[in-house]
């Protein structure tokens, strides 16, 4: 095992030298964020660390598509609350492992995410400062004051300097099992390359969602089937698109929101002709799978969470010098538009998206 310098500062402010072998990753709770952690895990694996990821059930499939991950453990945690008992139980199980963890990388900034590594007695606990975690993490990075690209934000936890050429050198990649994809497509009744995927949802809020009517208009202009993907909570949103389209062009739209597993959604995305989405988790999945896509940004910024895919095209009126009046309010990173106009999304027409797809 080789000796590595991890360029993080402990509470004493000194760098430390150690041999890394068995590492636990405490994963973020959002699908998009999980995808953007892949370059970090690839870096850790490349320098000899065995990677185990602890993730919530709806995020776990993302890590099963990462070759650098040796093991995925699903945490039975719910949103909200510290859930001390559940975390202590899992921590006790971790302490009994034949090869216990010697390093934990705590990717979320919350206090509760740092509890399990502390309870498990993992000697090195690495993460960003946040929510009074001074006594929970042994090695801490300062949170940046601005909003840096998220891939670089996570990759910095490796302690290695990011390439001077920028974060684009770290492109998330997901690898799916070919046989499993073929089985999923057969189960869904889809044929590779014969449909376009729409992902009209955005868990964060309506300020990130392109209007449903615009998705309707675009679907009616396409000459292939449209497959709508999303969570169960987004079924009604997807149905508000599928129903008016199918009334005019029967069987044009297939609403699979909430009807397929996340792994099934990955298979549908990997085999599609094109993806049209908001800035969402499935946008990052499409990018990591290398699928041609148009990513529509409104309240958020492609400088912060871009689809890192050479086949991706981004539409964001903020950086369109021909769009007037200019969007001084963007990016606001708000859940809802405080001015109630949502011009940043409303004024991106279906014709513009179609033209972008065709060029």
Angstrom distance (rounded) from CA 310 to CA 290 = 8
Q: Are residues 126 and 11 in the same domain?
A: yes
Give the pLDDT confidence score for residue 169 in this predicted structure. 57
Angstrom distance (rounded) from CA 60 to CA 29 = 9
Residue 210, classified by CB atoms within 10 Å of its CB into exposed (0-12), middle (13-18) or buried (19+), is: buried
For residue 169, being part of any structural domain is answered with no
Torsion of CA 120, 125, 127, 133, to 10 degrees: 70
Q: Are residues 210 and 328 in the same domain?
A: yes
Q: Are residues 349 and 222 in the same domain?
A: yes
Domain harbouring 97, CATH code: 3.40.50.2000
Contacts of 177 (CB under 8 A, 6+ apart): none
Give per-residue burial for 19-46: e unless 16+ CB within 10 Å, then b.
ebebbbbbbbbbbbbbbbbbbbbbbbbe
Number of domains in the chain: 2
Q: Are residues 191 and 151 in the same domain?
A: no
**pLDDT tens, position by position, 183-205:** 999 999 999 999 999 999 877 66
For residue 329, being part of any structural domain is answered with yes
Asked whether the whole model's pTM tops 0.75, one would answer yes
For residue 303, being part of any structural domain is answered with yes
For residue 171, being part of any structural domain is answered with no
Q: Are residues 216 and 249 in the same domain?
A: yes
For residue 190, being part of any structural domain is answered with yes
Domain stop point among 162, 188, 206: 162
Q: Are residues 156 and 235 in the same domain?
A: no
User: What domain range includes position 239?
Assistant: 180-358
**pLDDT tens, position by position, 263-276:** 999 999 999 999 99
Angstrom distance (rounded) from CA 265 to CA 283 = 12
**pLDDT tens, position by position, 131-147:** 778 889 999 998 888 88
For residue 173, being part of any structural domain is answered with no
Angstrom distance (rounded) from CA 77 to CA 162 = 33
Q: Are residues 193 and 301 in the same domain?
A: yes
Q: Are residues 207 and 329 in the same domain?
A: yes
């Amino acid at each position: 095992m080789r000796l590595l310098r991890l360029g993080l500062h402990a509470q004493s402010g000194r760098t430390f030298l150690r041999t890394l072998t068995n590492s636990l990753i405490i994963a973020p709770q959002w699908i998009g964020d999980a995808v953007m952690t892949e370059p970090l895990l690839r870096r850790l694996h490349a320098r000899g660390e065995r990677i185990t990821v602890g993730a919530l059930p709806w995020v776990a499939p993302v890590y099963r598509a990462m070759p650098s991950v040796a093991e995925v453990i699903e945490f039975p945690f719910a949103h909200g609350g510290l859930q001390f008992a559940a975390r202590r139980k899992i921590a006790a199980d971790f302490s009994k492992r034949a090869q216990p963890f010697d390093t934990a990388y705590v990717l979320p900034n919350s206090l509760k995410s740092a509890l399990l590594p502390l309870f498990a007695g993992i000697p090195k606990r690495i993460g960003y400062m946040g929510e009074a975690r001074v006594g929970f993490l042994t090695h801490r990075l300062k949170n940046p004051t601005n909003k840096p690209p998220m891939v670089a934000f996570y990759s910095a936890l490796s302690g290695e300097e990011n390439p001077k050429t920028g974060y684009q050198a770290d492109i998330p990649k997901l690898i799916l099992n070919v046989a499993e994809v073929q089985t999923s497509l057969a189960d869904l009744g889809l044929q590779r390359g014969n449909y376009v995927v729409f992902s009209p949802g955005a868990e964060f809020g309506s300020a990130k969602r392109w209007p449903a009517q615009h998705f309707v208009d675009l679907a009616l202009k396409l000459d292939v089937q449209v497959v709508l993907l999303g969570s169960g909570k987004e079924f009604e949103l997807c149905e508000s698109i599928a129903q008016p389209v199918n009334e005019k062009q029967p069987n044009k739209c297939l609403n699979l929101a909430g009807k397929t597993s996340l792994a099934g959604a990955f298979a549908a995305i990997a085999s599609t002709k094109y993806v049209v989405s908001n800035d969402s988790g499935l946008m990052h999945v499409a990018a990591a799978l290398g699928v041609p896509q148009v990513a529509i940004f409104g309240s958020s910024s492609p400088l912060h969470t871009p689809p890192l895919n050479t086949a991706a095209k981004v539409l964001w009126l903020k950086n369109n010098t021909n769009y007037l009046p200019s969007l001084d309010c963007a990016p606001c990173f708000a859940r809802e538009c405080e001015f109630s106009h949502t011009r940043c999304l409303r004024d991106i027409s279906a014709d513009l998206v179609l033209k972008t797809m065709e060029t």
